[in-house]
Amino acid sequence: MKFVVAIDGPAAAGKGTVSKAVAAHFGFAHLDTGLLYRAVGAKVLKGSDEIAAATSLTSADLDPETLRTSAVAQAASKVAVNPEVRRALVQFQQDFAKRDGGAVLDGRDIGTVICPDADVKLFVTASAACRAERRFLELQPKDSSATRDGVLADVEARDKRDRERATAPLIPAEDAIVIDTTDLSIDDAVAQAVALIEKAR
């Protein structure tokens, strides 16, 4: 059985949490495609050329622990503007989506570019202030220098770059269903996503 769920949206809107929960609920495999761009960004921060980094990426580069910093997130959104970097990462994502047993992919361009024929497309969003607050609470225990204003500025800079780039900009697919998590609990957001997928199965 092949079944693809595409989940797109801006930074810290709850896509990752919703994607993981949906994958666990249906027994689907999950790919956080942001990790691919983060891994390329991390290599560039260490001095690599961005295209060489994207074409030589292996699963050993995808360690979420080292890739979840603001510096890597900003570097990721900069390399993500480059169409050649994006092209180098397409096949891996499309192969993942083709696996038997169902797949959930989350990112920025899954419903528009990577899996335009996905069975369900969700666009998970929330206000910038709410997303920054969530990211701040997540970063604070790991990074005592994080400030609310700094995190909000980071999130807004990344969103602007993601929305305004020429190739695969962040935009809901025409047939995507929007879930705004600003005033939703995690459980309610997951329940909405599960119900929408259930209906399409």
Binding-site residue positions for ATP: 9-17
Residue 125's contacts (CB-CB under 8 Å, 6 or more residues apart) are: 9, 10, 13, 178, 179, 180, 181
Among 44, 76, 122, 124, binds ligand C5P (CB under 6 A): 76
- Nearest approach, Cβ of 62 to ligand C5P (angstroms)? 11
- Nearest approach, Cβ of 197 to ligand C5P (angstroms)? 19
Taking the least distance from each CB to ligand C5P, the nearer of 23 and 198 is 23
Give the number of residues in contact with ligand C5P, rule: CB under 6 A.
14
Taking the least distance from each CB to ligand C5P, the nearer of 38 and 121 is 38
Residues 81-110 that bind ligand C5P (CB under 6 A): 107-109
Taking the least distance from each CB to ligand C5P, the nearer of 108 and 134 is 108
Site string for ligand C5P, 23-62 (x = CB under 6 A): ----------xx--xx------------------------
Taking the least distance from each CB to ligand C5P, the nearer of 33 and 125 is 33
CA distance 174 to 169: 14
Quote the tokens at residue 19.
Answer: 């994607």
- Nearest approach, Cβ of 16 to ligand C5P (angstroms)? 7
Give the angle 181-185-191 at the CA atoms, nearest 5°.
85
Burial of 105-121, coded b for 16+ CB within 10 Å and e otherwise, reads bbbbbbbbbbbeebebb
Beta-bridge mates of residue 7: 106, 122
What length does the chain have?
201
Residue ranges of the annotated binding site are 9-17
Backbone angles phi, psi at 118, to 5 degrees: -55, 145
Q: Which of 47, 40, 52 is nearest to 78 (CA)?
A: 40
Residues lying near ligand C5P in the complex (CB under 6 A) are found at 11, 33-34, 37-38, 73, 76-77, 80, 107-109, 158, 162
